[in-house]
Structure 1
Amino acid sequence: MGITVGFDLDMTLIDPRPGMVAAMNALGAEAGLPLDGEHFAANLGPPLDDALRGFEAPEERIPGLVDRFRALYPELVVPITVALPGAAEALRAVRAAGGRTLVVTGKYGPNAQLHVDALGLEVDELVGELWSTRKAEALLAHDARVYVGDHAGDVRGALAAGATPVGVATGPCDRTLLLSEGAEVVFDSLTEFPDWFERTFAGSVVP
């Protein structure tokens, strides 16, 4: 059996930024709070409750705001989200080599699954609501040997799990930052992933 490769979702496999802008701005308008959708969408990665704290949302309102954002999400975000270049091909490369694909994301799992289904992405397992080093929980549970992500938090999660950290410079963290965090390799986009995977891991067998 080939190896399991983990992937982050937002700004690694998909680009949800237009919908994220719309959803956060709609939430702010409903709640009467100065929530900045553009800023939120440009800094995807950390958990939603942390983002809301960054906008100085009252702590006691955060659980309700999170619930409402999740409710708005299927209608406002999913329909206008696109797959990033090379995403489908990267997933197919792993499966063609006999491997398994795993998405580990900080996003609410049911909404993450809506994206996977809507875009027809070939994902074997999906685990939501894990961020940074906590992603190691899912990576270890599924014996993932590689984890691919766009954020420094993704690199930290891979390292915490003993997986090969692969960066992709399509999100808020640039190549220099991803390398400084410990990424073994950083791609400009996932279009570079299949060749690298073939050279590095194809034919690997899990004992």
Structure 2
Amino acid sequence: MSNAATRYGELVGIRVGCVGFDLDMTLIDPRSGMIAAMGELAEESGYPLDGEYFAANLGPPLDHVLRGFETPEERIPELVSRFREIYPDVVVPRTVALPGAAESLGAVHRLGGTTLVVTGKYEPNAALHVKALAFDVDALVGDLWATGKAVALTEHGAVAYVGDYTGDMEGAKAAGALAVGVVTGPCTREQLLAAGADVVLGSLAEFPDWLAANSD
């Protein structure tokens, strides 16, 4: 058994506990909607907001992203609020579940565990995705990023956290949870490992079998 698998066994034993998942590019692919929403915001505001770049690098909170586009600091709260207003009608309908997403949530439940989504996304909009895609999620916490995710992971007693971004791995480690990376987002296997991933999978399509093999 690999070191990661051994560590996983030490964390959860025979029975799987709470397993956390990131949302964007872990459970869902919202990129086409993100491009459209950022384009609409750019047109309204007159600022050169790069939707393609934004969608290809999902992870950081929106205010961080807007600062990267050299948006005036005093306009950022207004733009964040407007993006959140645009989001339900533009992003949610264009979003699809990534391969293995629903199956991974189901795999946790079949082993007696609970599922938790922890995301940097504005929580009401994150909840719209969970509802629209009929994900079987026991708890959802939004507006947390990187090591900040450890707050929710610790509160819910998560034994593992699955994500596509280096910040997700940092959040898992800060919570003392197993850090499971997936390379469906902007980060490479090497980047995820360097950020503390205990194991890296190609996608959530591999997660149910991996979980079953490493939970006994």
Deviation, 1:201, is 2.3
| Aligned partner of 2:140 among 95, 116, 126 | 126
**TM-score, normalization: structure 2?**
0.92
**For residues 213 and 134 of structure 2, what CA distance do their matches in structure 1 show?**
26
Residue 114 (str. 1) matches residue 128 (str. 2)? yes
Deviation, 1:196, is 1.1
Counterpart position of 1:171:
185
Deviation, 1:191, is 0.8
Deviation, 1:2, is 4.0
**For residues 45 and 169 of structure 2, what CA distance do their matches in structure 1 show?**
34
SS at match of 2:176: coil
Identity %: 66
SS at match of 2:144: coil
Q: Deviations over 1:125-170 (max 9, x none)?
A: 0000000000000000000000000000000000000000000000
Long gaps (5+) in structure 1: 203-207
Deviation, 1:111, is 0.2
**For residues 72 and 196 of structure 1, what CA distance do their matches in structure 2 show?**
38
Counterpart position of 1:156:
170
**For residues 201 and 66 of structure 1, what CA distance do their matches in structure 2 show?**
41
More deviation in 125-134 or 183-192?
183-192
Long gaps (5+) in structure 2: 1-14
Residue 105 (str. 1) matches residue 119 (str. 2)? yes
SS at match of 2:161: strand
**For residues 108 and 55 of structure 1, what CA distance do their matches in structure 2 show?**
20
More deviation in 185-194 or 143-152?
185-194
**TM-score, normalization: structure 1?**
0.96
| Aligned partner of 2:210 among 177, 181, 196 | 196
Aligned length: 202
- 4+ residue runs of structure 1 moved beyond 2 angstroms? none
Residue 145 (str. 1) matches residue 145 (str. 2)? no
**For residues 49 and 94 of structure 1, what CA distance do their matches in structure 2 show?**
33
